[in-house]
Amino acid sequence: MSIVKQIQQAAIQSLNELFNQSFTNKDFQLNQTKPEFEGDYTIVLFSLVKSLKLSPDDIGNQLGKHLTQKEESIFTKFNIIKGFLNLTIVDEYWLTILTRSYKDVCFGKKEMNGKKVMVEYSSPNTNKPLHLGHLRNIFLGWSTAEILKANGNEVIKTCIVNDRGIHICKSMIAWQLFANGATPKSTNTKGDHFVGEYYVKFNDELKKQINELKKQGMNEKEAEKETPIMKQAQQMLLDWEAGKPVLISLWNKMNSWVYEGFDITYKKVGADFDKAYYESNTYLLGKKIVEEGLQKNVFAQDEDASVWIDLTTDGLDRKIVQRSDGTSVYITQDIGLAQQKYEEYAIDQSIYVIGDEQNYHMKVLKLIAEKLNLPNAQNIYHLSYGMVELPSGKMKSREGTVVDADDIVNEMENVAKAKTEELGKVKDFTTEELTTLYTTIGLGALKFFLLRVEPKKKMIFNPEESIDFHGFTGPFVQYTHARIKSILRKSEIQNSKFKIQNLLPLEKKLLIILEQFGGVIDKAANEHNPSEIAIYVFEVAKIFNSFYAEHSITNAESEEKKQLRLQLASMSATVIKSGMQLLGIDVPERM
RNA sequence: GGUCUGGUAGCUCAGCUGGAUAGAGCAUCAGCCUUCUAAGCUGAGGGUCAUUGGUUCGAAUCCAAUCCAGAUCACCA
């Protein structure tokens, strides 16, 4: 049990015994004591004043005395300052945690709780390569999944591939018109980039044709509809839905190129999926749902046969769920898929990692699912994240300001290489080891950069300044790990208990934060927020570095101190490593 | 216009289920490598927590209004 919970429990029990009143842990606040005061944890007394009808000092004195007497294996002393009861935990308590857990790679993680969670993330269109925004999505989804696992859930990672629709038709048309049979192989291009080039070509041609029509006096919108190339794309979509064989085979071919490209990127950044759904298989889902919804009177049909749901009583608008021609719209497929996911996996929670531009859509989806009484409707959770923007504003593919995923990964590796060579600490590495190290550091910097910010906040990426390797960054944490490992390679830890008269402030500070790991995982899991882990792991590294600068480990004052510090170092490395793993970041042994 | 999100140091961000003098990193300045990896450590300067009002013993945090920025409200996905 965590120290926080133990203190809460002890305090509740003491209050009960002292005043014969029962409290819960929500009735008083428990904080870590601020560094300028003596103590480890602090109970804020003000909130108890009303129900106990005593002054804060009075309560603090009685509670402090009672706790130190009754729970002397936990508390050693207390002081009260202005309504704050500062409690000092006995050193043996911290030392027990240390000797018990210093090499436990599962430290902080929970037993399986029997819950099943599905995390859907990435979900790209198949007409262009992945960009920095996708990377935020991928890292968030992957990390959230790992955090949920660490907190005891069974997790299914999934992905819905938007492999059909007008966007891919556009690439297909352009390929037919301009490629002369070129392939990724013949042009030596990565498949997703290859197809993306044709998507760009489509838009270039479209722009040309629009301009010509505009010269004839049409306005922009009319012109776009009337361009031959747009009409071709729309016709192609119809033909595709009709299953025209030539088209299907072209579609398969181009999608397979894209998948080859995606696979390379996924593998590089460490993304993986237990199950992939394809829109070409799910887009017809929902017909049944519409029928059922009509029967349940959740949906209503207009005169033109289109089907709607009225959400005005929920503060939203009317939403169409089936077109007048009987085809289903995006949201209908989503409802169908939501149900399918549940039927296939009987999941307890269904998480969607999707950008905040779809907040409204996801709200509607959940609301409809609830109104239809779908079994898992309540447990649909939209993990919404803000857009990644450039200093100049949004990334726009049309203006060529999109930061390509492969490019940025490459660039980070190059920066890692340059910095590593500059420092010259790993000259004995083989070429292979160096390549791995550059990837580890480059990706570490990138992932940490994208995960350290709270998901729902939009973030700004400045390509000019690139990503830092100092301070609140992945490489800083990785470096700390490498430093610790360097020490541990040189000295052997004896698994002995030791009696230490008193822990030095920095030793204790380290232990206190290390002990909190489990609580941090719990919070990150409940809030679906990997940035909690990033912030925590950085804090651990920072405290370790202070400790490292202040106290010698291998040349400690005594053999006992040396053993204590070796164990402390070992536990720090373990926690840093598992924390970083939850973010999808490797930590090197040397760098 | 309706709904939702954000606004904290020059920059990027923590803190937001109310608690002690609002914290980090970057940048700037001053120190620290003959001792375990200086991608590090120590210190300094830097704040009208968008604004105004309210609730409270206590507000960056909760409530209301206003201002600014963004997203969204399609028989697109």
Q: Output the domain CATH number for residue A57.
A: 3.30.1360.70
Q: What is the pLDDT of residue A289?
A: 87
Q: Is residue A366 domain-resident?
A: yes
CA–CA separation, A541 and A448 (whole Å): 14
**Is residue A6 packed enough to be buried (19+ CB in 10 Å), middle (13-18) or exposed (0-12)?**
middle
CA→C1' distance for A470 and B29 (Å): 19
Q: Give me the pLDDT at residue A361, please.
A: 94
C1'-nearest nucleotide to the CA of A31: B19
CA of A35 to C1' of B18 (A): 21
Distance A304 CA to B61 C1' (A): 52
Tokens matching residue A538: 């950085």
**One-letter amino acid identity for A237?**
L
Last residue of a domain, one of A389, A424, A451: A389
Tell whether A373 and A414 lie within a shared domain: no
pTM: 0.96
A42 near A84, Cβ under 8 Å? Answer: yes
In a domain, residue A95? The reply is no
CATH code: domain of residue A480? 1.10.730.10
Q: Is residue A588 part of a domain?
A: no
Tokens of A438: 């550059």
Cβ atoms of A306 and A323 closer than 8 Å? yes
Kindly give the pairing relationship between strand A388-389 and strand A29-32: unpaired
Residue nearest to nucleotide B58 (CA to C1'): A46
Q: How far is the CA of A374 from the C1' of B13 (A)?
A: 40
Q: Which nucleotide is nearest to A50 (CA to C1')?
A: B57
What is the DSSP annotation of A387-437?
Answer: PEEBTTBS--GGGT---BHHHHHHHHHHHHHHHHHHHT--TT--HHHHHHH
CA–CA separation, A431 vs A435, rounded Å? Answer: 6
Q: Which two tokens stand for residue A419?
A: 């910095």
Q: What is the ipTM of this complex?
A: 0.96
Domain end, chosen from A89, A111, A146, is at A89
Residue A549 falls within a domain, yes or no?
yes
Q: A385 in helix, strand or coil? A: strand
Whether A145 is covered by a domain: the verdict is yes
N-terminal to C-terminal alpha carbon distance within chain A: 36
Verify that A147 and A269 share a domain, yes or no: yes
Same domain, A75 and A43: yes
* CA–CA distance, A450 with A461 (Å, rounded to integer): 9
CA atom of A22 to C1′ atom of B69, Å: 48
Contact A176, A292 (CB under 8 A): no
- A135 plus A210 within the same structural domain: yes
Tokens read off for A313:
């009583």
In angstroms, what CA-CA distances link A356 with A268, A384, A456, A583? 26, 5, 7, 21
pLDDT for the residue A314? 85
Count of domains observed in chain A:
3
Give pLDDT, residue A569.
Answer: 97
Specify if A153 maps to a domain. Answer: yes
List b or e across A184-196, with b for residues whose CB sees 16 or more CB atoms inside 10 angstroms.
beeeebbbbbbbb
A561 Cβ contact list (under 8 Å, min separation 6): A500
CA-nearest of A381, A409, A407, A403 to A584 is A409
Q: Do A164 and A252 contact (CB within 8 A), yes or no?
A: no
- Strand runs (DSSP E) across A13-126, as ranges? 29-32, 41-44, 75-81, 84-89, 116-120
Q: Report which of A510, A477, A431 is spatially closest to residue A587, judged by C-alpha positions.
A: A477
Helix axes A474-490, A559-582, angle to 10 degrees: 140
> What's the CA–C1' distance between A526 and B8, in Å?
25
Element (H, E) at A590: none
- A139: amino acid identity, one letter: F
Question: Smallest CA–C1' separation from A417: which nucleotide?
Answer: B39
Strands A116-120 and A84-89 turn out to be: unpaired
A380/B62 CA-to-C1' distance in Å: 28
Same domain, A431 and A361: no
Q: pLDDT digit string (tens) for A138-170?
A: 999 999 999 999 999 999 999 999 999 899 999
The verdict on A226 and A291 lying in the same domain is yes
CA of A137 to C1' of B28 (A): 35
Q: What is the pLDDT of residue A214?
A: 85
A374 and A479 together in one domain:
no
Q: Is A114 exposed, middle or buried (0-12, 13-18, 19+ CB in 10 A)?
A: exposed
The reply to whether A565 falls in a domain is yes
CB distance A299 to A290 below 8 Å = yes
A328: the nucleotide nearest its CA (via C1') is B75
For residue range A398-450, list pLDDT tens digits in order.
677 889 999 999 999 999 999 999 999 999 999 999 999 999 999 999 999 99
Rounded to whole angstroms, the distance from the CA of residue A461 to the C1' of nucleotide B11 is 12
Long-range contacts of A246-252 (CB under 8 A, 24+ apart): A247/A172, A250/A172, A250/A175, A250/A176, A251/A164, A251/A168, A251/A172
**Closest nucleotide to the alpha carbon of A553, via C1':** B36
Show which of A332, A357, A389 is a domain's final residue.
A389
Distance from C-alpha of A181 to C-alpha of A282, rounded to nearest angstrom: 31
A141 with A285, same domain: the answer is: yes
Instruction: Give A277's DSSP letter.
Output: E
Strand pairing partners for A393? A390
Beta pairing partners, A278 = A161
Nearest-angstrom CA–CA distance, A74 and A550: 28
pLDDT, tens digit, 9 for 90 and up, residues A345-385:
999 999 999 999 999 999 999 999 999 998 889 999 999 99
Give backbone dihedrals phi and psi of A31, rounded to 5 degrees, phi first: -120, 160
* Pairing, β A307-310 against β A300-301: antiparallel
Q: Which nucleotide is nearest to A556 (CA to C1')?
A: B36
A28: the nucleotide nearest its CA (via C1') is: B19
Cβ-contact A377, A370 below 8 angstroms: yes
Range of the domain at A150: 121-389
Q: Contact at 8 Å (CB) between A314 and A137?
A: no
Q: Give A53 CA → B67 C1' in Å.
A: 44
Q: How far is the CA of A330 from the C1' of B71 (A)?
A: 19
Domain match, A365 and A423 both: no
Residue A393 has what DSSP assignment?
A: B
List, in sequence order, the alpha helices (H) in A296-404.
330-345, 359-371
Domain shared by A421 and A329, yes or no: no
Nucleotide nearest to A554 (CA to C1'): B36
Same domain, A288 and A355: yes
Q: What is the pLDDT of residue A562?
A: 93
Please tell me whether residue A155 adopts helix, strand or coil conformation: strand
Residue A400 three-state SS: coil
Give the pLDDT score at A61.
Answer: 95
pLDDT < 50 positions in chain A: none
Mean confidence (pLDDT) of chain A: 93
Same domain, A32 and A71: yes
User: Does residue A102 fall inside a structural domain?
Assistant: no
Q: CA of A56 vs C1' of B57, distance in Å? A: 11
Sheet hosting strand A29-32, strand order edge to edge: A29-32, A41-44, A84-89, A75-81
Q: Which nucleotide is nearest to A393 (CA to C1')?
A: B70
Query: Which strand B bases fall within 7 angstroms of a protein CB?
Result: 2-6, 12-15, 18-21, 24-27, 35-42, 57-58, 70-77
